[in-house]
Structure 1
């Protein structure tokens, strides 16, 4: 469903070119939750932006549902839902108005949009505040609206960037339940987070990025065999040690 194929992205810094992502390849199948993990500067955000079509790759490509981002960036956007901690709500609109607006942006027919809003309201328990101004919502309620917004156009792929940032235990559980829903709906999901304990609960497989390269990939058991480390935290500590020693 999602294929990242030898993706590279370079930038200019201090008059010199550096590769934020360098020959990165991985795939995420339907019904799979893939954890894209790495320390700051590993290339996670650049990778997500390339997948979304917000950055043009220097080389390589991304395929979503058979469409190449290099050829059909708009079609790619239609097939991806984004959940990001940095995504805000229009404070003077209600959740219903926000969902209606994004359904229109994605060219969802009004009758289909109305049905999806009702379905998402049931799934994510939005009904009590669906017609309430977003400025009055709690952090957890706003995150529920963000989760619904990502699905209003029924995308086969969902990207989640720090989805539990700033949430309490109850709010985080909503995200866990949401990911399980996406899994049962056979969507391909990419989760990027610094909360390694949560990543361990959410994800089926992991890709560990280091200096733009995919250093290790696999299930948690496979990563343990590859790295000789018992958990994700220890794997990260080892990567940070390597970064310091190579600096």
Structure 2
């Protein structure tokens, strides 16, 4: 993706759109969270009010992070060119999108994770697995929108900006370093939910959670670098559909 001029103004409307989309995605995440973390239903605040409050907070946070990510990354060719063209009624990027590649990379990375961690999949009654499948479908929007805004648009752009500042300018290897670092931090970002759900019990399980999530984060970062945030979003959404819907349906069929 060609670099944009360093003086290009931050995209406020685009950041606002990503913030709103992240808020809606966070709201859609709550049916999944209630099953993953049942303690949410025992808090002194009602679940609907908690969902609305958390969604508004997540939307505001993602909007700010999107604004910062665009400001930091556009000078190095990192951004959301397709959404930018749509929101600002600009000409679309000259290069054709690789949407099918994004879907395939998301599916392949998710299948690889399942192959490496199939023993960790929960075997439950078919009715429960089917219930988890529709909840997982809704949760997939959070991964594709909010997590990509946070971990690719903001975090990867920040890492590349820091590397370029320290190194006296951007170098090709810095993109690879930012992809890997962002993927590892993306993996570590799943630890709080894993601890709350009782899925992390020691160093080995913690390392497994980080590395398996980092494994799918690598192609997302590469797609973000080469084709823009939207391709990373499509890949992440596709991967989550396999992990949170396809896997549950497969287990339900085997139950």
TM-score by length of 1: 0.26
**Structure with more helix by fraction:** 2
TM-score by length of 2: 0.25
**Structure with more strand by fraction:** 1
